[in-house]
Structure 1
Amino acid sequence: MEYRKIKDQENYEDVSQNDIESLHGKPLSGVISNSTPSSLGGSTKSSWKLKSIVTLALTLLTSSQAILIVWSKRAGKYEYSVTTANFSVEALKCALSLVALAKIWRSQGVTEDNKLSTSFDEVSVYPIPAILYLIKNLLQYYIFAYVDAPAYQILKNLNIISTGVLYRIILKKKLSEIQWAAFILLCAGCTTAQLNPSSDHVLQTPFQGWVMAIIMALLSGFAGVYTEAIIKKRPSRNINVQNFWLYIFGMIFNLIAIVVQDYDEVMNKGFFHGYSFITVCMILNHALSGIAVSMVMKYADNIVKVYSTSVAMLLTAVVSVFLFGFHLSLAFFLGSTVVSVSIYLHSIGKPQPQK
């Protein structure tokens, strides 16, 4: 397996949260090994600021995803092709990465860390997460044939636990007992916040729905952790280059999905048939969210991503109060409290490095 190769090549236990040192203990490009404490303090402050910005962006973008998906439907169904929408997302992300790279090349020039040319060994790991994200994204649309929105939100929380487990298995990251407890509290809090006290049928999901939800959770967790391993394998590598290659394979696999699933419809009605202004906004949102996720993985980690998207789910409920007249129940407030406690526990429960 490719992730074993990554694991053998890199020792993730020695990586600092600020990516000050490379995975082999060598200074990163642009960082002087004998930096003064003040310069390291400035780097730490700058890194914290960057993490905060990308995490906030991911939270805001994720919180609006569900709303845009609902609005993109007409008469309860998608009039556009889901496969073409996913391809458009990957193409837009690839284009945005190239634009960002062009700006870097003009200001800094082409270097070893920001050039697109690469080795086969480096690029060969990207098809795996690309195809995993393809399957997961398609399931995200089709699962609604078996579950309703409240049940989907509840089942979606399964990826919180799967991410934590895979994070420990694949990246060999140690999680403290407090952090494991925080994971469980987070899952329980998000579930509680989505419960509908006026209905007894929220969790009565068909077997197919449960299977798809479990598969989605595992795919989401594995793809996320695997992508983080790829991105952090070479910390000095420009994130836009890494994104470019990931999105190129995403476009290839989504193009194959269009040919297999919607070829006749696309040829007869056109690639953009059924698209509306809301559909375009949804595609833009998904593209920016994908880039924000990769930035979080580069400068923070998957755990931050999980908590960011969990907070976004609660934020979506708050926004829905004004847009759809959503009622904030007691269960929502209780769930929000539990989520807040779990976030605090996770932040103070980080294992301390052994001296």
Structure 2
Amino acid sequence: MAASSEGPAAGGSELKQELRQREANRKLKYLSLAILVVQNASLILSIRYVRTLPGDRFFTTSAVVMAEVLKVLTCLVIILFQKRGNVTDFIVLLSDSIFVQYLDTLKLAVPSLIYTLQNNLQYVAISNLPAATFQVTYQLKILTTALFSVLMLRKSLSRVQWVSLVLLFAGVALVQVEQEGKQKETSVAGINQNYAVGLVAVVVSCLSSGFAGVYFEKILKGSSASVWMRNVQLGIFGTGLGLLGLWWNDGPSISEKGFLFGYTPMVWGVIFNQAFGGLLVAVVVKYADNILKGFATSFSIIVSTVTSVYLFGFHVDLLFTLGAGLVIGAVYMYSLPKVAAPPSASTVSASTQSRSQLASRDGDSETDAFLPKLPGKEKGC
């Protein structure tokens, strides 16, 4: 009697706990999406702002290294938290994941090199392009990611996704045509910017982003290591490669002026924003879905454009509006779930026949209980 009375009570408490967990996840989902919108828009605008201010400019290579260091430290804290503060287990896990399985760690050298290059290129692009133009053009990374996914992961795209990629390319092309006419105005005004350099930087950044993202996804799906441990491995290589690029590009200047030369509270804000942006995406992917993530990306483009009008005097005309609208629509279309193909006549006939055979058997409910179930797909990070 006691056991039977405890059963429903235990089940009710589990149900309440599950409902509370769902409600917490729902709140965290929309909170992370709101933060992602602010992060995406504020990162571009803040980099643009600090790179166009008069006076001493900080070294972008040192900012990239500092962002990698902060990212590694954050991931280490998260891993230690997952180990419930057990330092011994924490050290054993790090030693095994990084040093014992060194061949697995070396796989991260390639995407780490590309991400380091990409982070440096972002500074170059935003220093030479209007924030809104960069934000729209940078969505070409969706196109490059899709192409590399088809080539490297053998993924299939729906018709809607292929159409969205065409619209994406058309929208970016319209924005670039509109900005081409403003090049002369920028040069006449004496602004120290090179539109061609910025455009090349953002295109190369999109290519590198697409390849590195797909390569990293392939590694994640082929390993049991957590996203946080992978980010630690990435950060170790990224810090080393960033220091090498720092020495190669700005070595003499940094040895003379110092690693933190030109750092202001605003610059530190940019570095923290860049460091935690990638980790924020991991949270969004876990608690949200691609549709909401695409909506957040689209909304951040609108926020960047509107803010650029007030902060930098950015002029929005009909051509830019049309191009940006195509890009926003393409981002949303690409993130839509695939529609299942309608079953063919032969498939329907076979399915009907199998169902009739099952129904004619005695005890079909017992038989159905022992039918093998199809394994579900694992969700990648």
User: Do both share a fold (TM > 0.5)?
Assistant: yes
Q: Aligned match of 2:220 in 212, 231, 237? A: 231
1:30 corresponds in structure 2 to none
Per the TM alignment, residue 211 of structure 1 is displaced from its structure 2 partner at its CA by: 4.1
Residue 219 in structure 1 maps to residue 170 in structure 2: no
SS in 2 for 1:284: helix
Is the CA contact 1:190–1:336 (under 8 Å) kept in the aligned structure 2? yes
Q: After superposition, where does 1:1-355 map in structure 2 within 5 Å?
A: 53-73=31-51, 75=53, 79-106=57-84, 115-116=93-94, 117-118=96-97, 119-143=101-125, 152-153=134-135, 155-189=137-171, 200-201=181-182, 211-234=200-223, 237-296=225-284, 308-324=296-312, 326=314, 329-331=317-319, 334-335=322-323, 337-339=325-327, 341-350=329-338, 352=340
Per the TM alignment, residue 200 of structure 1 is displaced from its structure 2 partner at its CA by: 2.6
User: Equivalents in 1 of 2:283, 2:221: separation in Å?
Assistant: 11
SS in 1 for 2:231: helix
Is the CA contact 1:140–1:216 (under 8 Å) kept in the aligned structure 2? yes
2:351 corresponds in structure 1 to none
User: Equivalents in 2 of 1:95, 1:153: separation in Å?
Assistant: 28
Deviates more, 1:188-197 or 1:124-133: 188-197
TM-score, length-scaled by structure 2: 0.67
2:378 corresponds in structure 1 to none
Per the TM alignment, residue 309 of structure 1 is displaced from its structure 2 partner at its CA by: 3.9
What 5-or-longer segments of structure 1 have no aligned partner? 1-37
Per the TM alignment, residue 219 of structure 1 is displaced from its structure 2 partner at its CA by: 0.7
Per the TM alignment, residue 49 of structure 1 is displaced from its structure 2 partner at its CA by: 6.8
Per the TM alignment, residue 166 of structure 1 is displaced from its structure 2 partner at its CA by: 0.8
Higher helix share goes to which structure?
2
Give aligned pairs, total. Answer: 317
- Partner deviation per Cα, 1:245-287 (whole Å, 9 max, x = no partner): 1111111111111222222222221111111111011001101
Per the TM alignment, residue 57 of structure 1 is displaced from its structure 2 partner at its CA by: 3.1
- Partner deviation per Cα, 1:77-113 (whole Å, 9 max, x = no partner): 761111111101001111111122222222689879x
User: Equivalents in 2 of 1:96, 1:286: separation in Å?
Assistant: 13
Is the CA contact 1:160–1:306 (under 8 Å) kept in the aligned structure 2? no
* 1:185/1:41 CA distance change after superposition, 3 Å: farther
Deviates more, 1:268-277 or 1:223-232: 223-232
Percent identity between the two aligned chains: 30
SS in 2 for 1:346: helix
- Partner deviation per Cα, 1:292-327 (whole Å, 9 max, x = no partner): 234456677999867654442222113334545655
User: Equivalents in 2 of 1:146, 1:122: separation in Å?
Assistant: 38
Is the CA contact 2:72–2:232 (under 8 Å) kept in the aligned structure 1? yes
SS in 1 for 2:51: coil
Is the CA contact 1:188–1:335 (under 8 Å) kept in the aligned structure 2? yes
Per the TM alignment, residue 342 of structure 1 is displaced from its structure 2 partner at its CA by: 3.2
What 5-or-longer segments of structure 2 have no aligned partner? 1-15, 186-193, 344-373, 375-381
* 1:176/1:74 CA distance change after superposition, 3 Å: closer
Is the CA contact 2:294–2:335 (under 8 Å) kept in the aligned structure 1? no
* 1:327/1:170 CA distance change after superposition, 3 Å: same
Per the TM alignment, residue 328 of structure 1 is displaced from its structure 2 partner at its CA by: 5.2
Larger radius of gyration: 2
Q: Could you tell me which amino acid in structure 2 is paired with residue 246 of structure 1?
A: L
Per the TM alignment, residue 289 of structure 1 is displaced from its structure 2 partner at its CA by: 0.7
* 1:250/1:347 CA distance change after superposition, 3 Å: closer
Per the TM alignment, residue 238 of structure 1 is displaced from its structure 2 partner at its CA by: 2.8
Q: Could you tell me which amino acid in structure 2 is paired with residue 99 of structure 1?
A: V
SS in 2 for 1:248: helix
Per the TM alignment, residue 127 of structure 1 is displaced from its structure 2 partner at its CA by: 1.0
User: Equivalents in 1 of 2:235, 2:197: separation in Å?
Assistant: 30
SS in 2 for 1:115: helix
Per the TM alignment, residue 128 of structure 1 is displaced from its structure 2 partner at its CA by: 0.8
Kindly report the root-mean-square deviation, in angstroms, between the aligned alpha carbons of the 2 structures.
Answer: 4.1
